[in-house]
Amino acid sequence: MTRGDFIWQWAARDSTPEPCHHAAMTSDPLDVTAGVPYATLADLRATCPVSQTASGAYLLARHDDVLAATKDLGAFQASFREPGVVVPPEEQLISEIPEPRHGHVRRIINSAIAQHRIGRVEPFARDLCNDLLDGLLERGQSDLVAEYVTPIPATVIAHLLGADPADHSRFAEWSDLVVQSTYATKNRRADGEEGEGLVGVAPEFTAYIDAMIAERKGAVDPPDDFVTRLMNTEVDGERLTDLEMRTQLAFLLIAGNETTRHLIANMLETVCTDPDLFARLRADRALVPTVVEESLRHDSPIHVLMRDCMEDTTLDGVAIPAGVKVAFSLASANRDERNYDTPDAFRLDRPSAKDHLAFGGGPHVCPGASLARLEGRIALEVFLDRVETARVDDGYEREPVPVFWANGPRRLPVALTGCS
Ligand code: HEM
């Protein structure tokens, strides 16, 4: 059957159409080994907004469907686990905790990363970016991803958590270890088999967090950091247990690191490969926040959110049965031509730059958005303050990071000259 036949079949049905199948598409929309397949996603938005991929997962391609689905907690729940894996409540990551408990834990976490407190991290982040650039500018040549981008979010979170500065450099490694491991699929199974869980994957990291919690519990005057705030915040008369704190603190590192780093890397790639944009930004720093937003839209650092479908649901006229996996394509939603003019273009004149779904939507919308925006802005501002010219190596081709839900370049080799 040809691709046209499939599309015709879908279009010809007037009630509860079957989803288009992956075979109808030019490539698997969830296969990002060669980068986010924007052409395939555009095809899906036009012809098959609710499709079924090679793995059997359903994929939502349109902005309004994705936004509506993020709000429908009855139908869709976050899915990090293989079928049959049971995770004890205290080890559930905030994203996968069902309501009403999610709202409760979320209020506690929000109090730890509240916007008015996040602003205080700005001088630390600025000094960090300047220190990192000192070394790079001396050498004149750098893989910006490894040497500038990667240390920024991991170090900022380590600082906010309240870690000893001598240990800051270990956080990027711990985050990689957890993200690249299969810990999320190796917790306790329904058949009773014990999986590794977070402790099995990153024992040093969990021991480190446990020690931070214990120290603050024993201190007369504990420092004002994430750990102390999580420990002391009470919502509806309840606090998090030590195990819940460890789970959520570990998740904060991963959620804030393996996302913000791609935001910064994507922005720098855009700016360093577009000399006109680079010159424009050096002349006008007021454009930086808009670049941050447009980068989040154009190159969503999380390109897909995975969900389990909890009950039979109909979306865009397509029946999605309970029990299947559903992929919310944020990358596709953010380039939906129904919502954005010339969606593939990187533009600084969009009427509402913040109007995108890079941070998700609904009750699970990212609580770290202000921190991510602050880090993105500072990383770019300091780069523009310090770097006179940045030339990406000849023959540079974007190589995607090896994390299936993330979207950023693995390397960014550039020649740099500093401002005199
Ligand atoms: C550019 C950077 C970031 C991007 C693109 C991003 C994106 C997202 C998205 C799309 C979600 C929704 C997930 C879902 O619905 O399942 C989310 C949730 C979350 N993010 Fe972020 N994030 C970023 C930075 C951060 C930072 C810096 C932190 C904190 C340090 C953070 C903490 C969280 C947490 C705790 C959740 C779970 C919220 C919940 O389930 O209620 N994120 N993020």
Tell me, what's the pLDDT at 115? 66
**Across the chain, which distance is largest between two alpha carbons, in Å?**
72
Q: Give the pair of three-digit tokens for residue 246.
A: 């460890």
Instruction: Report the separation in Å between the CA atom of 10 and the middle of ligand 1, taken as the mean of its atom positions.
Output: 35
Convert the pLDDT of each residue in 209-251 to its tens digit.
Answer: 999 999 999 999 999 899 999 999 888 888 999 999 999 999 9
Q: How far is the CA of 366 from the centre of ligand 1 (A)?
A: 4
> What's the CA-to-centroid distance between 313 and ligand 1, angstroms?
26
State the distance from the centre of ligand 1 to the C-alpha of 259, rounded, in angstroms.
8
**Spatial distance between the Cα atoms of 416 and 265, rounded to a whole number of angstroms:** 16
Cβ neighbourhood burial of 333 (10 Å; 0-12, 13-18, 19+): buried
Alpha-carbon span 284 to 222, nearest angstrom: 42
- The mean pLDDT of the chain is 89
Mean pLDDT of 142-151: 97
Distances (CA, A) of 316 to 61, 68, 333: 11, 11, 14
- Extract the tokens encoding 121: 């991290």
Output DSSP code: residue 363.
Answer: G
Instruction: Specify the amino acid at residue 411.
Output: R
Give exposure, 105-119, as e/b (b: 16+ Cβ within 10 Å): bbebbeebbeeebbe
Q: Token pair 């159409």 is at which residue?
A: 17
Are the C-beta atoms of 146 and 411 separated by less than 8 Å? yes
- Give residue for tokens 């393996």: 258
Calpha distance 195→181 (Å, rounded): 13
Binned at pLDDT 50, 70 and 90, residue 184 comes out as: very low
pLDDT at 196: 62
The pLDDT of residue 179 is above 90 = no
Q: How confident is the model at residue 189, as a pLDDT?
A: 43
For residues 373 and 119, give the distance between their C-alpha atoms in angstroms, rounded to a whole number.
Answer: 11
| Dist. CA 391 → ligand 1 center (Å) | 32
Domains and their CATH numbers in the chain: 3-418 (1.10.630.10)
What does residue 108 show for φ and ψ, rounded to 5 degrees? -65, -45
Which residues sit with their C-beta closer than 6 Å to ligand 1? 70, 78, 94-95, 106, 109, 113, 157, 252, 255-256, 259-260, 263, 301-302, 305, 358-360, 364, 366-368, 371-372
Tell me how far the alpha carbon of residue 258 lies from the centroid of ligand 1, in angstroms: 10
Distance (angstroms) between ligand 1 centre and the Cα of 137 equals: 32
Residue nearest atom 18 in ligand 1 by C-alpha distance: 366
- Over residues 10-63, the pLDDT tens digits come to 444 445 567 887 666 667 888 899 999 999 999 999 999 999 988 889 999 999
**pTM score:** 0.93
SS3 call for 61: coil
- 104-113, 116-125, 233-242, 382-391: which has the highest mean pLDDT? 382-391
Cα 144 to Cα 16, 83, 410, distances in angstroms: 49, 39, 10
Best residue for ligand 1 mutational test, from 160, 179, 298, 366 (most atoms within 8 Å of Cβ)? 366
- Could you give the residue ranges of the DSSP H alpha helices within 78-140? 101-112, 115-118, 122-139
Q: Which of 60, 77, 159, 359 to mutate to test the pocket of ligand 1 (most atoms within 8 A of CB)?
A: 359
Buried b (16+ CB within 10 A) or exposed e, 173-191: ebbbebbeeebbebbbbee
The C-alpha atoms of residue 6 and residue 12 are separated, in whole angstroms, by: 10
Q: Answer yes or no: is pLDDT of 82 > 80.
A: no
Question: What residues form DSSP beta bridges with 319?
Answer: 314
Distance of CA 255 from the midpoint of ligand 1 (Å)? 5
- Structure-token match 């793995």, residue found: 55
Residue nearest atom 20 in ligand 1 by C-alpha distance? 366
What is the whole-number distance in angstroms between the Cα of residue 114 and the centre of ligand 1? Answer: 14
> In this structure, what token pair is assigned to residue 391?
């030339």
* Average pLDDT value for residue range 80-92: 79
Is the Cβ–Cβ distance between 198 and 250 less than 8 Å?
yes
Closest residue (by CA) to atom 39 of ligand 1?
364
Q: Candidates 79, 258, 259: which one to mutate for ligand 1, based on the most atoms within 8 Å of Cβ?
A: 259
What Å distances lie between residue 412 and 125, 130, 133, 297, CA to CA? 21, 19, 15, 20
**Residues 113, 251 contacting (CB under 8 angstroms):** no
- Per-residue pLDDT, 7: 38
Q: 172 and 257 in contact (C-beta within 8 Å)?
A: yes
Give me ligand 1 centre to Cα 360, in Å: 8
Query: Which ligand 1 atom sits nearest the alpha carbon of residue 302?
Result: 5
Residue 282: per-residue pLDDT: 97
Counting from 1 in the atom list of ligand 1, the atom nearest the Cα of 248 is 35
Tell me the chain's radius of gyration from C-alpha atoms. Answer: 22
